[in-house]
Structure 1
């Protein structure tokens, strides 16, 4: 009887935690409880070298204890431990320090939130990125023209302005901030319509996301990226729109 009561209480808490319309914190600032790590070359649930960790209350991507030589495509993602259908997701991000030795040039000060992606448990051990829609996070470079909030499409494609687009990167209008500066990023996914918002400004809108085999993307897991440059996240929240 005690076990049944405990289970019912747990289910009630889960239901209350993700009530429609309320902003719910997804990160407790203390540990990675409620999240699953998946790193290329490792099984889901392994967190080699504490790639994802908590530092000073911030969800942090750190390579200090992982790569002793150089980066070899060990791209990582940390997933919220449940899928979502219609939602408004938001977080703040910033890039810190230097890119790890061997990281590709395109990945310098590069991260993102992977929206409505596959379950991390279904990813191959040697799968670099989950099939998903990436809300790309970038910091500025010396050109001053780098954008943030763009779309990347690993294993997916989308419609933009009513036309199907199958290229990997679709640039937004959001100008990236300097390394070290906090940026507020929001993504809205509602009935196949999506928008990316940076610091309160909508930077791109699109619709009808599909996986490469043509299956509509209607729900999935949200994850944050590690792509060879240290970064941090805070105020990670979601509002259910179902």
Structure 2
């Protein structure tokens, strides 16, 4: 995908600390991260479970401070290390970036995932099976895919299976509720639209935050902690909103 207006890309991660990012860990209030799940190591934003005795379904998300509606987001990720003790088997080399996330301050302590759209990252298992990355998952949301409404929770992309600890570049084009497109190493791997709230695969939330069929055209960006260590770098955003008239 061609890149325009290079000079307008803004860095969301300074490589030094977590300025402008705040955690929400299941079982804790927004802003609390007693086990230091999210840290900066050697200039990389790192999700670590070194201080966990047991994962205990403590799904976490690190939220950027500003909500957006129309933008391009790009970042690089790689899976590292061993899965957290007690993490579910399906979460092995499984993480993601959430877009159109609800305000984290509206998430009660018991809530597991933000109502959002997840660009799901998966790593290969070196077992010969296909396990593409940059898939779509929909905690508390619905989409229109290939022209049809679907309540399928996760839809696989056409991306390749990526093994081991390779760095992977992800780009996400977000145009309100009309279109979200995923790119892996510069190649488009899926696109969909018609984003609304509703459905399942989220728990512990306030019921009024998930009305069935409400258009979802804006929200927060968050990085996921789902039980496997992962690192991020070069997190950048190009805001596509038209500036308000002066």
Instruction: Give the TM-score normalised by the residue count of structure 1.
Output: 0.89
Q: Confirm whether residue 30 of structure 1 aligns to residue 29 of structure 2.
A: no
Q: Is the 8 A contact 1:20 1:240 kept in 2?
A: no
* Alignment CA distance shift 1:211-1:20 (3 Å): farther
What do residues 154-195 of structure 1 show as CA deviations (whole Å, max 9, x unaligned)? 000000111001011111011231121000001001142110
SS in 2 for 1:164: strand
1:101 Cα deviation (Å)? Answer: 1.3
Q: Distance in 1 between matches of 2:218 and 2:164?
A: 32
Aligned to 2:90: 106
* Match 2:138 to one of 133, 153, 160: 153
Asked if structure 2 preserves the Cα contact closer than 8 Å seen for 1:32 and 1:54, the reply is yes
| Partner of residue 201, structure 2 | none
SS at match of 2:180: strand
> Which residue in the other structure is 2:67 paired with?
83
State the partner residue of 1:51: 37
The question of whether the paired residues in 2 share the 8 Å contact of 1:29 and 1:58 is answered with: yes
Higher Cα Rg: structure 1 or 2? 1
Distance in 2 of aligned mates of 1:234 and 1:59: 6
Counting only pairs closer than 5 Å after superposition, residues 1-242 of structure 1 correspond to structure 2 as 22-65=8-51, 67-68=52-53, 70-141=54-125, 142-191=127-176, 192-212=178-198, 213-242=212-241
Q: Hey, which bits of structure 1, 4+ residues long, moved more than 3 A?
A: none
Cα distance, 1:22 vs structure 2:
1.1
Contact 1:114 1:135 in 2 (8 A): yes
Preserved contact between residue 51 and residue 62 of structure 1 (Cα < 8 Å): yes
Range with bigger deviation, 21-30 or 202-211: 21-30
Contact 1:20 1:241 in 2 (8 A): no
| Secondary structure, counterpart of 1:175 in structure 2 | coil
CA drift at 1:222: 0.5
After superposing the two structures, state which structure 1 stretch, 203-212 or 169-178, moved more: 169-178
Task: Kindly indicate whether the alpha-carbon contact (under 8 Å) linking 1:82 and 1:221 is maintained by their aligned counterparts in 2.
Answer: yes
Question: Matched residue of 2:35: which SS?
Answer: helix
Superposition CA RMSD, Å: 1.4
Between the aligned partners of 1:93 and 1:79, the Cα distance in structure 2 is: 16
